[in-house]
A and B are shown apart, each in its own frame.
Chain A
Amino acid sequence: MVLRCQVEVLYFAKSAEIAGIRSETISVPQEIKALQLWNEIEARHPGLADVRNQVIFAVRQEYVELGDQVLQLRSGDEIAIIPPISGG
């Protein structure tokens, strides 16, 4: 059985425009590779396919690339979709 949890997904800049929302709570496996997590998010918002090669996650405010790294998630965790940055 796959244990699941409720995480808060935050969208910024172009990803927020594509998703049409700034945040949502979704149910995901507690143990999931970063890339699989992206695929679950992209399934909810297919338009995000346009930016998948440009974005990075921030999981609990730490950067994680969309790769094979296994994330251990807990309910309430914050996962931000970070498009290329342009501060300064």
Chain B
Amino acid sequence: LLISSREGLKEVEESAKEIIKFTTEKLSIDEASQLVISPLCGAVSLFVGTTRNNFEGKKVISLEYEAYLPMAENEIRKICSDIRQKWPVRHIAVFHRLGLVPVSEASIIIAVSSAHRAASLQAVSYAIDTLKAKVPIWKKEMYEESSSSWKRNKECFWTTSD
């Protein structure tokens, strides 16, 4: 945001933004990046999670995501406020795809901006690790031989992976 003043163009302190979006539409990396870009920042860090076409030798033909929406959004807001306690970041955007997702498309995009790169790089890494452990979202893989399986993140905080 720019305004004119007697001193000329002066930057207004833009307020920190958190954009959280769940959608059945294809995710746009460009949109996530544009949302967090700031003239105060020298870095935008992105994580893009995409859907794989195989699991333990089985061919995955499609994947489906569902979420406990209001709680998932609240848990992501908690992650955003944790991030702000830990690192000086500017804006945070988290997009998660829901419903049927074709193989190779993005299921999640996390974008964070910061004045210097270390903060946003670490924040993005923390955000995806914590999201996998705490945010109520589920993925079901559908395999070629018409079987399917609900997945479990190894980070899921109340179960031990076996």
A: which residues have CB within 8 A of B? 10, 12-14, 54, 56, 58, 61, 63, 65, 80, 82-88
**B 55-95 to A, binary, CB cutoff 8 A, 1 in contact else 0:** 00000000001111011101000000000000000000000
Q: Is the interface of B mostly helix, strand, loop or mixed?
A: mixed
What are the 6 closest A-B residue pairs judged by CB atoms, nearest first?
A87-B137, A86-B151, A84-B152, A13-B138, A86-B139, A61-B71
Shortest C-beta distance, A17 to chain B (Å), equals 8
B: which residues have CB within 8 A of A? 49, 65-68, 70-72, 74, 96, 107-108, 128, 131-140, 150-153, 156, 158-159
Q: Which residues of B contact A82 (CB under 8 A)?
A: 68, 136
How many residue pairs between the two chains, A and B, have CB atoms under 8 Å in the bound complex? 74
Is B156 touching A80 in the complex (CB atoms < 8 A)?
A: no
Assembly CA distance A14 to B49 (angstroms)? 23
Contact status of A83 and B138, CB under 8 A, knowing A10-B68, A61-B70, A88-B107? yes
Contact status of A84 and B74, CB under 8 A, knowing A12-B68, A58-B68? no
Contact among B49, B107, B132 for A85, CB-based, below 8 A: B132
Is B71 touching A80 in the complex (CB atoms < 8 A)?
A: yes
Is B96 touching A87 in the complex (CB atoms < 8 A)?
A: yes
Q: Which residues of B contact A12 (CB under 8 A)?
A: 66, 68, 136, 138
